Amino acid sequence: MALLEGIRILDMGWVLGGPFAGQLLAQMGADVVKIEPLEGDLARGIPPHFADGESSFFLSVNRGKRSVAIDLKQDRGRAVFDDLVRRSDAVIHNFAPDVPKRLGVDLQALKKINPKLCVGQLIGFHDEGEYRTTPAFDLVIQAQAGFMSLTGERDGKPVRAGYQVADLAGGLYLALGLVGALLGASRTGEGQEIQVSLFDCQIALLTWQAQNYFISGEVPRRNGSRHHMIAPSEVFAGSDGKYFVISPTGDAFFRKFSIAIGHAEIADDERFATGAARIAHVDALAETLQSIFSKQPAAYWVDRLKAERIPAGVLNEVDEALGHDVTVLRQMVETLVNPATGNSLSFLGNPLKWAASRTLSYPPRLGEHTRAVLTEVCGYDVDRIEELARAGAIATGGQA
């Protein structure tokens, strides 16, 4: 049995954070119905890469969902949505804070329709004052929440993460929070709202950097690939120019590491003999190690260190990571066939593993499941669905 078997979630998310949460919930077995406007999720058209007319951006976070296209601005479209709410367990969305009440999808409005309904809301900053309408792009969140101040070379320009860490972390927290709300509703019969702020999530992820600041008053700074509290723990290059990382933590590990690279004397150097000394002389240590590592290819050093169970690994490009043997063993790349075209496409697999886990279906075309969902969930007959489609309250046919 799937973890969320029998749970129906209406996913009103768009672009990235909200849809990512919806896909996570689908990966746990929920029936996730993607509620889209008649023009579809904006992410369907984001360039530059497309497969069968759908953006790679959209395809990456909308697997395992059924798409229902509704015009919520029409009374008849709104009535359709309300019927779905009556027969669902939760609604998730990532609208700006002032939008839900205007659309009538806030908790107070929806609980009048279904008292047991839970609502998961993903916002950018805060739901009051000036932040209520402040645009919350991923880059802006990374900058304002301190993340970028920690990312980049020590004397260089701050940089953003290579992927949208603020949006994706928000989606993770939203999915987790909603599962907690659903558990509570199953016990009490009372739905509740979980609100997740992208800004809050990035602040929460500061963890030990923030704790260090609370204790010492020292402001954490960016440090390249180098760890602030462990040395050596950073990127080095082999003689072939390939990068690799090492992180022999603790004095015993460091001595074992020194022996493994053929330079046991390093562990006896008073500058490097203790963890505190290695941090104090980290530049000298890094220079010493790089002069050694420059004599052999990166793979040579990684193999020697791994043989001694010392933390080390090559630095993979994305294509290399996707082809890694662990990626294959963990089934983290799956190939699906688009049922509309017969074309196959690779997707990322499910990081959640359990006995009944299953492969998610191909991302839906716009309105692909409108007919099926309204028939199955709401009990509408063919004539009613056709009438709603002619009135422009819904869209059917599955054309993107």
Distance between CA 292 and CA 265 in Å, rounded? Answer: 13
Is a pLDDT exceeding 60 seen at residue 399?
A: no
What does the pLDDT average to over 373-383? 97
Spatial contact of 131 and 125, defined as CB atoms under 8 Å apart: yes
Among 282, 280, 301, 284, CA closest to 236: 301
Residue in the structure block whose two tokens are 């990684």: 302
What does the pLDDT average to over 251-274? 95
pLDDT class for 398, splitting at 50, 70, 90?
A: low
**H or E element: which one contains 374?**
helix 370-376
The domain at 8-205+334-395 falls in which architecture? Answer: 3-Layer(aba) Sandwich (3.40)
Is a pLDDT exceeding 80 seen at residue 382?
A: yes
> By 3-state DSSP, what share of the chain in percent is helix, strand and coil, each rounded to 5?
40, 15, 45
What are the two backbone dihedrals, phi and then psi, of residue 333, each rounded to the nearest 5 degrees? -130, 125
Complete edge-to-edge strand list for the sheet that includes strand 8-11: 193-197, 118-123, 90-93, 8-11, 31-36, 65-70, 394-395
pLDDT of residue 357: 81
Distance between CA 50 and CA 57 in Å, rounded? Answer: 9
pLDDT of residue 116: 95
What is the percentage of the chain residues whose pLDDT exceeds 70?
99
pLDDT of residue 358: 83
Distance between CA 381 and CA 387 in Å, rounded? Answer: 10
Per residue in 128-176, pLDDT (tens digit) is 999 988 888 999 999 999 999 999 999 999 999 999 999 999 999 999 9
Among 343, 326, 323, 347, CA closest to 335: 347
Spatial contact of 17 and 171, defined as CB atoms under 8 Å apart: yes
Is a pLDDT exceeding 80 seen at residue 3?
A: yes
What are the two backbone dihedrals, phi and then psi, of residue 65, each rounded to the nearest 5 degrees? -110, 160
* Dihedral sign, Cα of residue 22, residue 23, residue 27, residue 33: positive
pLDDT of residue 44: 97
Positions marked active-site = 167
Distance between CA 212 and CA 224 in Å, rounded? Answer: 18
Class of domain 234-315: alpha beta
Helices 251-260, 298-307: crossing angle, 10 deg rounding: 130
pLDDT of residue 320: 97
List all residues 6 or more positions away from 289 whose beta carbon is below 8 Å from its beta carbon: 232, 236, 246, 261, 266
pLDDT of residue 2: 83
Domain ranges for the chain: 8-205+334-395, 234-315
Per residue in 211-247, pLDDT (tens digit) is 999 999 999 999 999 998 899 999 999 999 999 999 9
Is a pLDDT exceeding 50 seen at residue 257?
A: yes
Is a pLDDT exceeding 50 seen at residue 123?
A: yes
Per residue in 46-97, pLDDT (tens digit) is 999 999 999 999 999 999 999 999 999 999 999 999 999 999 999 999 999 9
**H or E element: which one contains 172?**
helix 165-188
pLDDT of residue 373: 97
Give the up-direction half-sphere exposure of residue 24: CA atoms within 13 A in the CB hemisphere.
21
- State the average pLDDT for the chain: 95
What does the pLDDT average to over 337-342? 96
Distance between CA 371 and CA 232 in Å, rounded? Answer: 60
